[in-house]
Amino acid sequence: MTEELANKFDAIVVGAGFAGLYMTHKFKSQGLSVKTFEAGEGVGGTWYWNRYPGARCDVESWEYSFGFSNELEQEWTWSERYSPQPEILKYLNHVAKKFNLLGHISFNTKVVSSEYDEQHAAWEVTTNSRENYKAKYLVMATGCLSSTNIPDFRGLDDFSGKTFHTGNWPHQPVSFKGQTVGVVGTGSSSIQATPIIAEEAEKLFVFQRTPNWSIPAHNEPLTKKKSDEIKSKYQELRKFQLKLPLAAQKAPNRQSAFDVNEQTRLETYEKYWNIGGLSFLGAFRDIPTNPEANATAKNFIIDKIKRVVKNETVLNKLIPDHHVGCKRPCSDTGYYETFNRPNVELVDAREEDIIGFTRSGICTNAKEYKLDAVVFATGFDAMTGSLDKVNIIGRNGLRLKKKWEEGPKTYLGVGTAGFPNFFIITGPGSPSVLANMVVGIEHHVNWIGECVKHIEENGYTNVEVIKEAEDNWVSHVNEVANRTLYTTCNNWYLGSNIPGKPRVFMPYIGGFPKYAEKVKAIVESGYKGFAFS
Ligand code: N01
């Protein structure tokens, strides 16, 4: 193994969230020297940056946790069914300390460029402090939703109030007491933050361009009894989890919405609704693929919203017109109820376009809204945004950003042709955001660990994706996506929230078990589609 000398390492990992931490641990336990760079002041990735009011996971706590260490599973106790952000961050700090990872991480350090040096078969990495590092392997653990997006609103710099982005929230407490606040956006972040901001602010305007479907989370404290029960059968639960398309949630129903009569259909929806959160999408197998089946799910949710929202005009504005699931659905606690509050007003940004900012607020083509503070819950340049920010240059001067200008191209979402010994954790082309992220991360880290072992044990220098395998995989990813309704609206899976981004469905939607099966078969066939030299 390479000496940890003169900034030279066996492996460099970019990012210290769930993915970067486990990758660092994996390399370390394989006896490799590893350096990890993290832009934040501490570990946590997504859970370090997204500190907005109400931020919590919508995958159950035990499912959204590492399974690689039995000891870790037993010593950590989650307090709620869905963990709040501070608790997940605490967990990741615990992981970093427990596995002695902190000494490998340089914090407050951004990787600005990474270039493959053909002559020395190594990656040259440059940080924002202009330091250079070299490594045989480079792993991007930069996350799928970490590059924040603030739309280019006219006059934003003139606004004299405070502005926030949910994905880059201050570390000091923020108070909206006595203030008039505007929240822009109605995706998952807004749907979690809005009810809490509404309780504190004097007046809240929610600027909604597209309503989204939301299902109550039914969050609750995790009792000692429940927690002990989970701990007593972790292995069994995790095995079962790997068989589920989302690698989480409750087992989906295999029936079509039309295999049953209307009464049974409603009872089934009620059953899945009562489970809470995204499990609802598993009520019938054809919700994601058949518009008529999807419409039955829509009607059920609409009926639920109608029972909550009192003002009919507001109610009508809150009902989405896209297929359930096309935009990533949300899981909420009291979102629709918030619109019954006298201090909350829904602004339909489709009816009255946001023209821009003035010194004192937001201007639509109907009126000016005077605001003390604006919260941008406007999402992320998903999946490729964080990779694009690093100038990654592979063989023959090929820039990753250039290679991907018509959409990301990977093989299995872990590698891309022309970039030897370069790995992406939960990259485009893998289930990633369409399944439990922690399961996807563990799967990729384990795979990368095994692949690197294979290289080292066989005395190879490089592993590289074969272009033909990549082309076939990209076609397959598109083909599977086109069989669903997920390509029928504007969503960040397609990059359509970012002006100018090519409209390409980025994650693999075939489900985690199918993906894992394919990856396993590829390894067993001698890493078909990868060339070792
Ligand atoms: O971002 P989003 P997010 N003018 O992209 C609106 C994960 N997550 O941060 O739909 C006006 O979903 C935009 O409107 P439209 C989860 O995977 C998970 O909320 O483009 N509005 C939309 O309403 C999630 O999907 C959790 O018309 C503008 C909103 O901003 C992903 O992160 C919690 C606009 C952006 O919604 C991203 O969620 C939070 C403009 N110019 C996040 N530009 C949990 O685990 C954008 N918008 C629970």
Q: Hey, whose CA ends up nearest to atom 36 of ligand 1? A: 187
Closest CA to 221 of 86, 91, 81: 81
> What predicted TM-score, i.e. pTM, was given to this entire model?
0.98
User: What is the tens place of the pLDDT at every residue in 288-327?
Assistant: 999 999 999 999 999 999 999 999 999 999 999 999 999 9
Distance set, CA 79 to CA 71, 76, 83, 84, 181 (Å): 18, 10, 7, 9, 31
Ligand 1 pocket test: pick from 46, 374, 497, 506 the residue with the most ligand atoms within 8 Å of its Cβ: 497
35 φ/ψ angles, rounded to the nearest 5 degrees:
-125, 130
Alpha-carbon distance of 445 to 13, in angstroms, equals 11
Over pLDDT 90: what percentage of the chain? 98
State in Å: Cα 188 to ligand 1 middle: 6
State in Å: Cα 76 to ligand 1 middle: 31
User: What is the tens place of the pLDDT at every residue in 344-398?
Assistant: 999 999 999 999 999 999 999 999 999 999 999 999 999 999 999 999 999 999 9
Tokens representing 499?
Answer: 């002006």
Taking phi first (over 0 means left), then psi (-120 to 50 degrees means alpha), and beta for anything else, what does residue 486 get? alpha
Query: Computed from CA positions of residues 208, 211, 216, 219, in that sequence, does the dihedral angle turn out positive or negative?
Result: negative
Average pLDDT, the chain: 97
Alpha-carbon distance of 399 to 444, in angstroms, equals 23
Nearest atom of ligand 1 to the alpha carbon of 166? 9
Alpha-carbon distance of 17 to 440, in angstroms, equals 13
Residue 114 class from Cβ within 10 Å (0-12 exposed, 13-18 middle, 19+ buried)?
A: buried
Is residue 125 helix, strand or coil? strand
Alpha-carbon distance of 333 to 331, in angstroms, equals 7
- What pLDDT sits at residue 250? 85
**Within 13 A of 308's CA, how many CA atoms are on the CB side?**
18
How confident is the model over 38-51, as a mean pLDDT?
98
Pocket of ligand 1 (CB under 6 A): 57-58, 145, 151, 166, 184-190, 192, 207, 209-210, 328, 331, 349, 354, 377-380, 433, 490, 492, 497
Alpha-carbon distance of 233 to 74, in angstroms, equals 11
Q: Would you say residue 408 has pLDDT above 50?
A: yes
CB 416 within 8 Å of CB 471 = no
Most distant CA pair in the chain, distance: 70
- What pLDDT sits at residue 95? 99
Q: Would you say residue 497 has pLDDT above 80?
A: yes
Tokens representing 312?
Answer: 């009919």
H-helix or E-strand containing 354?
strand 354-358
Nearest atom of ligand 1 to the alpha carbon of 349? 11
Dump the DSSP string for 203-226: EEEEEESS---EEE----B--HHH
User: What is the tens place of the pLDDT at every residue in 256-280?
Assistant: 999 999 999 999 999 999 999 999 9
Alpha-carbon distance of 341 to 258, in angstroms, equals 38
- In what order do the strands lie in the sheet containing 180-184? 162-165, 373-376, 180-184, 203-208, 344-348
pLDDT band at residue 6, thresholds of 50, 70 and 90?
low
- The CB density around residue 170, as the number of other CB atoms within 10 Å, is 10
- What pLDDT sits at residue 2? 46
By residue count, the chain amounts to 533
Residue 313 class from Cβ within 10 Å (0-12 exposed, 13-18 middle, 19+ buried)?
A: exposed
Ligand 1 pocket test: pick from 378, 426, 492 the residue with the most ligand atoms within 8 Å of its Cβ: 378
Amino acid at 34: V
CB 184 within 8 Å of CB 377 = yes
Amino acid at 399: R
User: What is the tens place of the pLDDT at every residue in 516-530?
Assistant: 999 999 999 999 999
CB 182 within 8 Å of CB 374 = yes
User: What is the tens place of the pLDDT at every residue in 81-101?
Assistant: 999 999 999 999 999 999 999
Amino acid at 207: F
